[in-house]
Amino acid sequence: MDEAPPKIARSRRSPAERQAEIVARAAAMVLEQGVLPLPLDRLAHDVGVSKGLIYNYFPTQHDLLNAVLEAEFEGLRARGIEAAAGSGPLLAVARACARLYFDHVAERGPVIHLVLRDHFMAGQLSPQAARFRDRIVRGLAKAARRDLLLPAKENIAAINLVITIPEEAGRLAYRGDIALDRARELCDELVVGSVQALSPRKAPA
């Protein structure tokens, strides 16, 4: 009599692994869709879980998207962007932060930009995500206030201008529209040019 084949034990993912899988797929959908909110039925199908399980981990879609942001911010933190945004001359701080942000976007896509700029997330950032974003912006703003001598409103506009450079250059590299090395070089050149253009000029002697 033939023996029954042994049962193959199915690997069970831990709740933390499930959550990470949901967050990773949600980030990919942000890139694919480009706007929020996300279709949770499709997300559940793609991950192979029930929609109810997603709600069990993330009671609202804002909670889910904050988890996406926090995962992206953790990637930036691991690259050392908090230290880069510390003290120093504006040009050095801006170049260091831009290089790290460019590398992040070129590798993972403009997830941060898409989530932060979408009206769906207006006023819905988690305290953790808001604190991380604000620490980086404050570091740049402090250096800009000291070196550019601009009025407060113009200072914020200048910081926003500089931030868009690595976002756009990284996006182009991520999509393959520009070679990675060339996009990184252009990013650096544009950041340097922007800071120099904004810097106060000495009156001619």
Here the CATH number for the domain that contains residue 66 is: 1.10.357.10
- Domain that includes residue 71, residue range: 15-198
Q: Which of 38-42, 95-99, 142-146 has the lowest mean pLDDT?
A: 142-146
- Backbone φ and ψ for 32, nearest 5 degrees, come out as -65, -45
The model's pLDDT over 108-131, given as tens digits with 9 standing for 90+, comes to: 999 999 999 999 999 999 999 999
The model's pLDDT over 165-201, given as tens digits with 9 standing for 90+, comes to: 999 999 999 999 999 999 999 999 999 999 999 888 6
Report how many domains make up the chain. 1
User: Computed from CA positions of residues 80, 81, 87, 91, in that sequence, does the dihedral angle turn out positive or negative?
Assistant: positive
Q: How many percent of the chain have pLDDT more than 90?
A: 80
In a domain, 30, yes or no: yes
In a domain, 146, yes or no: yes
pLDDT value at residue 55: 97
* Residue 11: band (very low, low, confident or very high) from pLDDT cuts 50, 70, 90: low
In a domain, 8, yes or no: no
In a domain, 6, yes or no: no
Query: b/e map of 172-186 (b: 16 or more CB within 10 Å)?
Result: bbbeeebebeebbeb
User: Computed from CA positions of residues 120, 77, 132, 174, in that sequence, does the dihedral angle turn out positive or negative?
Assistant: negative
Residues 6+ positions from 183 with CB-CB distance below 8 Å:
102, 106, 169, 170, 172, 173
In a domain, 2, yes or no: no
SS3 73: helix
Chain centroid, CA 12 distance in Å: 30
In a domain, 168, yes or no: yes
Q: Is the pLDDT of residue 204 over 70?
A: no
pLDDT value at residue 149: 87
pLDDT value at residue 18: 96
Distance, in Å, from the CA atom of 116 to the CA atom of 101, rounded to the nearest integer, reads: 15
Distance, in Å, from the CA atom of 116 to the CA atom of 123, rounded to the nearest integer, reads: 10
Both structure tokens of 86: 């510390």
In a domain, 117, yes or no: yes
Round the average pLDDT of the chain to a whole number and report it: 91
Mean of pLDDT values over 12-30: 95
The model's pLDDT over 78-106, given as tens digits with 9 standing for 90+, comes to: 999 999 998 899 999 999 999 999 999 99
Both structure tokens of 188: 């650096």
In a domain, 112, yes or no: yes
pLDDT value at residue 129: 97
